[in-house]
């Protein structure tokens, strides 16, 4: 798939898109030999945003700290996935180790069969079992599988320190490994879509069908947690940058370019089409980034509903309760399937899609 251009220059200033996802973050090692081994990881921002780091005391328990951190990560990293853990070195080395560990293949079941041979492998086995026992599950909705594997890399460190880092990898693992040996380019063959099974979904009877063009704030009061809701009609879209701009306009007394009264907004940024769809992969972005804008949006615009990925923070939950709004959780990792449900995009004066 074509990747959305997501890299911004001047990150705390103008935040201008570089248009081509450059510059990349590149780590390299000079080693003997006459080949170049390349590992590429196109990592999403949602999982990267849930990274954790701590400078533990030497006597602190790594397992205890990880089990405390994982629930705090919520579901914005799109579990089930992998946890990369780096231990030792310095602060930046621990983070690098955690990221590097995610490049290794999933092999936890092989490790379970042969048993651990060092402390890092002991940690992998213990954390794999105990993290899954937390019951966070796919998309944070509960279940037996939260992690598919746990990777641990370590490095010598100062006697006074125990730096530890966690970097999660979401269910969408976009990795490529190849070797350049001087004989020519390494050509990567795109996977064939025919290699995947045909996806069908029988929605069943216990599904609420909602027309976004006619639904009212009174209607949503009957909705219950855990319901499956199928939406059709006009849906507005916008991520955190759009929300900040709208809130700034509201605070400056400016009129918004679109009427949000009674509407639903989907936290998503569109991508160019890949094949026959009208927009590219349209998966939800992490909803907690919109939490600080939620009160103003609900109070000042008459917005009825929001759709995003994973849980909301308490400040957003309180605002949703106060204004009788609703939040729907979209499935992360199904961006291409979501895009196939979009019939018509319109980019101005508002960004809206018809489903």
Q: Answer yes or no: is 77 within a domain.
A: yes
| CATH code at position 274 | 3.20.130.10
Please choose, from the candidates 219, 94, 79, the residue with its C-alpha nearest in 3D space to the C-alpha of residue 152.
94
Which of 180, 199, 219 is the C-terminal boundary of a domain? 180
Neighbours of 326 (CB within 10 A): 18
Q: Answer yes or no: is 151 within a domain.
A: yes
Q: How far apart are CA 127 and CA 125, in angstroms?
A: 6
Q: What is the mean pLDDT of residues 212-229?
A: 93
Q: Which domain holds residue 248?
A: 207-354
Helices (H) and strands (E) in the chain, counts: 10, 16
pLDDT class of 197 with cuts at 50, 70, 90: confident
Q: How far apart are CA 26 and CA 23, in angstroms?
A: 9
Residue-wise pLDDT tens digits, 225-259: 989 999 999 999 999 989 999 999 999 999 998 89
Q: Answer yes or no: is 198 within a domain.
A: no
Q: What is the mean pLDDT of residues 341-355?
A: 65
Is there a single domain that holds both residue 216 and residue 167?
no
Which of 131, 161, 180 is the C-terminal boundary of a domain? 180
Is there a single domain that holds both residue 229 and residue 265?
yes
Any idea which of 159-173, 243-257, 260-274 has the lowest mean pLDDT?
260-274
Residue-wise pLDDT tens digits, 282-337: 889 999 999 999 999 999 999 999 999 999 999 999 999 999 999 999 987 778 78
Is there a single domain that holds both residue 149 and residue 217?
no
* DSSP secondary structure letter of residue 138: G
Residue-wise pLDDT tens digits, 128-160: 999 999 999 988 889 999 999 999 999 999 999
Strand partners, 39: 177
Per-residue burial over 277-289, b = 16 or more CB atoms within 10 Å of its CB, e = otherwise: bebbbbbbbbbbb
Is there a single domain that holds both residue 162 and residue 77?
yes
Task: Give the model's pLDDT for residue 341.
Answer: 85
User: Tokens for 151?
Assistant: 């990777």
Is there a single domain that holds both residue 318 and residue 222?
yes
The more confident residue out of 224 and 346 is: 224
Q: How far apart are CA 304 and CA 236, in angstroms?
A: 12
Confidence check: pLDDT of 351 > 60 = no
Mean pLDDT of the chain: 91
Is there a single domain that holds both residue 211 and residue 350?
yes
16-17 and 36-41 as β-strands: parallel, antiparallel, unpaired?
A: unpaired
Is there a single domain that holds both residue 162 and residue 219?
no
User: Tokens for 79?
Assistant: 């579990």
Specify the number of domains making up the chain: 2
């Amino acid at each position: 798939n074509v990747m959305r251009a997501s890299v911004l220059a001047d990150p705390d200033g103008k935040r201008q898109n570089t248009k081509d996802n450059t510059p990349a973050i590149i780590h390299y090692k000079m080693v003997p030999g006459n080949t170049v081994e390349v590992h590429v990881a196109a990592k999403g921002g949602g999982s990267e945003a849930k990274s954790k780091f701590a400078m533990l005391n030497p006597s602190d328990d790594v397992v205890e700290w990880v089990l405390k951190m994982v629930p705090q990560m919520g579901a914005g990293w799109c579990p089930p996935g992998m946890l990369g853990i780096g231990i030792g070195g310095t602060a930046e080395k621990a983070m690098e180790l955690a990221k590097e560990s995610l490049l290794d293949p999933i092999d936890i079941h092989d490790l379970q069969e042969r048993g651990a041979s060092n402390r890092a492998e002991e940690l992998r086995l213990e954390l794999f079992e105990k993290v899954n026992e937390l019951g966070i599950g796919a998309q944070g909705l509960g279940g037996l599988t939260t992690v598919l594997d746990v990777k641990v890399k370590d490095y010598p460190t100062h006697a006074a320190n125990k730096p530890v880092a966690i970097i999660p990898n979401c269910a969408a693992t976009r990795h490529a490994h190849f070797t350049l040996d001087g004989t020519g380019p390494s050509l990567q063959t795109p996977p064939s879509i025919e290699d995947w099974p045909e996806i069908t979904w029988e929605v069943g009877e216990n599904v609420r069908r909602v027309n976004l063009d006619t639904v009212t704030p009174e209607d949503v009061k009957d909705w219950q947690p855990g319901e499956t809701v199928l939406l059709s009609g006009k849906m507005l879209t916008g991520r955190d940058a759009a929300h900040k701009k709208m809130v700034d306009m509201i605070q400056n007394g400016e009129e918004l370019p679109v009427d949000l009264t009674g509407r639903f907004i989907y936290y998503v940024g569109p991508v160019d089409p890949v094949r026959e769809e009208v927009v590219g992969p349209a998966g939800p972005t992490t909803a907690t980034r919109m939490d600080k804008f939620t009160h103003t949006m609900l109070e000042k615009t008459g917005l009825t509903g929001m759709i995003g990925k994973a849980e909301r923070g308490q400040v957003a939950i309180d605002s949703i309760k106060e204004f009788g709004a609703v939040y729907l959780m979209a499935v992360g990792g199904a961006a291409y399937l979501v895009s196939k449900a979009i019939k018509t995009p319109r980019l101005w004066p508002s960004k809206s899609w018809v489903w």
